[in-house]
């Protein structure tokens, strides 16, 4: 099997990489484990110095890395630079805070002294997606490495150049050789990697189907997992919301990263009293978004990352329309070279339609009219997913009360759902379990060791 880097703007194959044979994968994992045996005993100061240098490498080369993302998965160049800056931020954040987060915690007991200590586990396998090819990796790697673990990355098969670039960043930052390695393997080797005795835990960001497969194998091997899976985030607009701001932000929230984000707003749930006025503003905002070459600074929406993904998105739209949905904007692939899908709005939706029940991973917005706040919450929760949600109202106290009733890992009131190194990130239901980022994320992959002293 070959790992192909294909430019989604043109369909051109940029590079082809031969998949590693299993023996090379095993040898690399052995090297990672050997590096960890020393890395786990390094001081927080030493780890912090290396992590801060990684942030410097990222910032120094952000134009280059943004270009790699634009060419390999179609990310608009401005969004690529922002992604690299965020990666540098998470490196600096954990360089600054990891030691305090993992400080021994005293506990009362019948001994003279007792405390909980946080020890590294070993090699953590990260199975990562293509949509934020640098950020998804760094939000795992920064806390994992600062906790004293080593990392093996199985990146998405369509972004091998991103994977190798990330490995080189850690090398240039002065991390010991093999503490972080990218494995050039396909999904067929993942289960064997999980079985490898040097791998102590697994984190995956991806589809719920991939999550079930990885969790099943890890469970068989009694290895911990953290899963961040798909989302079908509700965007609730109450009658007292700022219509202009919520509509403009809603368009941005739906089409961020060309609509290819787990935490993108996907289901827009609008109170009947303001439905028509809000929908008119939302349609205007969506229609003004600039679709084009991701290397063009003006572009806001690039191509979909792969042709099969664009075709699947269109199948979901067509099936929904055949079942009675109405197309208010867009609705079919653009007639141009590359895998471009325009900003699209669907209305008149009902359960059973893909646009109602499934995750639409592209710039397609599903809009629902509801009678009141009660029905808004019911529609918001009527999904197997539970990653993020947002509520729009001029009454923040009302927004917080509604947040308490929403089944999601994060609820943002009058703001776009986003990840932030300072805040825990993750979902419930089939959106996964465990948390990344903040103090909670760094403690996912440690041995919480009780120490009792007489």
Task: Identify the DSSP state of 205.
Answer: E
**What whole-number distance in Å separates Cα of residue 222 and Cα of residue 241?**
48
Q: Are 214 and 188 in contact (CB under 8 A)?
A: no
Question: Pseudo-torsion of CA 261, 262, 267, 269, nearest 10°?
Answer: -110
Q: Which of 19, 72, 83, 228 is catalytic?
A: 228
Question: Per-residue DSSP letters for 49-95?
Answer: HHHHHHHHHHHHTHHHHHHHHHHHH---HHHHHHHHHHHHHHHHHHH
**What whole-number distance in Å separates Cα of residue 423 and Cα of residue 444?**
14
Query: According to DSSP H, which parts of 266-386 are helical?
Result: 275-287, 307-322, 354-357, 373-381
Exposed, middle or buried, 323 (CB in 10 Å: 0-12/13-18/19+)? middle
Pairing status of strand 113-120 against strand 123-127: unpaired
Q: Is 87 a catalytic residue?
A: no
SS3 of residue 328 by DSSP: strand
Helix %, strand %, coil % for the chain, to 5?
45, 20, 35
CB within 8 Å of 369: residues ≥ 6 apart: 270, 272, 275, 347
SS3 of residue 436 by DSSP: strand
Cα-Cα-Cα-Cα dihedral sign, residues 178, 181, 184, 185: positive
Instruction: Give me the count of residues in the chain.
Output: 454
Please work out, in degrees rounded to the nearest 5, the angle formed at the alpha carbon of residue 137 by the alpha carbons of 30 and 31: 10
Pairing status of strand 199-205 against strand 224-228: parallel
Q: Helix 160-172 crosses helix 62-73 at what angle (to 10 degrees)?
A: 160
Q: Is 400 a catalytic residue?
A: no
The CB density around residue 339, as the number of other CB atoms within 10 Å, is 27
Q: Are 365 and 286 in contact (CB under 8 A)?
A: yes
SS3 of residue 38 by DSSP: helix
The CB density around residue 404, as the number of other CB atoms within 10 Å, is 8
Q: Which of 162, 255, 262, 356 is catalytic?
A: 262
Q: Which residues are catalytic?
A: 228, 262
């Amino acid at each position: 099997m070959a790992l192909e880097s294909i430019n989604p703007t043109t369909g051109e194959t940029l590079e082809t990489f031969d998949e590693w044979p299993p023996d090379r994968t095993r040898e690399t994992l052995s090297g990672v484990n050997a590096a960890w045996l020393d890395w786990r005993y390094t001081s927080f100061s030493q780890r912090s110095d290396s992590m801060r240098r990684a942030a410097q490498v990222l910032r120094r080369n952000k134009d280059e890395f943004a270009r790699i993302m634009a060419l390999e998965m179609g990310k608009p160049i401005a969004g690529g630079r922002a992604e690299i800056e965020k990666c540098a931020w998470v490196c600096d954040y954990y360089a600054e805070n990891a030691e305090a987060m993992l400080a021994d915690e005293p506990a009362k007991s019948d001994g003279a002294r007792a405390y909980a200590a946080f020890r590294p586990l070993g090699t953590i396998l990260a199975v990562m997606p293509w949509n934020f090819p640098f950020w998804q990796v760094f939000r795992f790697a920064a806390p994992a490495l600062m906790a004293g673990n080593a990392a093996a990355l199985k990146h998405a098969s369509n972004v091998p150049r991103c994977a190798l670039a990330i490995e080189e960043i850690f090398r240039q930052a002065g991390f010991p050789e093999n503490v972080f390695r990218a494995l050039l393997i396909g999904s067929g080797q993942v289960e064997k990697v999980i079985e490898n005795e040097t791998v102590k835990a697994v984190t995956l960001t991806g589809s719920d189907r991939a999550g079930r497969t990885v969790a099943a194998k890890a469970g068989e091997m009694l290895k911990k997992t953290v899963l961040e899976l798909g989302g079908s985030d509700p965007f609730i607009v109450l009658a007292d919301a700022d219509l202009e701001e919520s509509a403009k932000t809603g368009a941005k929230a739906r089409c961020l990263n060309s609509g290819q984000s787990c935490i993108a707003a996907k289901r827009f749930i609008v109170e009947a009293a303001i439905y028509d006025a809000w929908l008119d503003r939302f349609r205007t905002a969506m229609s003004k978004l600039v679709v084009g070459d991701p290397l063009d600074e003006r572009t806001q929406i690039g191509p979909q990352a792969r042709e099969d993904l664009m075709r699947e998105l269109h199948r979901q739209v067509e099936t929904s329309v055949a079942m009675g949905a109405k197309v208010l904007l867009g609705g079919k692939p653009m007639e141009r070279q590359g895998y471009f899908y325009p900003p699209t709005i669907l209305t008149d939706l009902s359960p059973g339609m893909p646009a109602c029940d499934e995750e639409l991973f592209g710039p397609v917005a599903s809009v629902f009219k509801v009678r009141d706040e009660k029905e808004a919450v019911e529609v918001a929760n009527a999904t197997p997913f539970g990653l993020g949600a947002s509520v729009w109202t001029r009454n923040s106290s009302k927004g917080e009360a509604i947040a308490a009733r929403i089944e999601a890992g994060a609820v943002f009131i009058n703001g776009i759902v986003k990840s932030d190194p300072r805040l825990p990130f993750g979902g419930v239901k089939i959106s996964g379990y465990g948390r990344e980022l903040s103090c909670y994320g760094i403690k996912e992959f440690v041995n919480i060791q009780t120490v009792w002293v007489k």
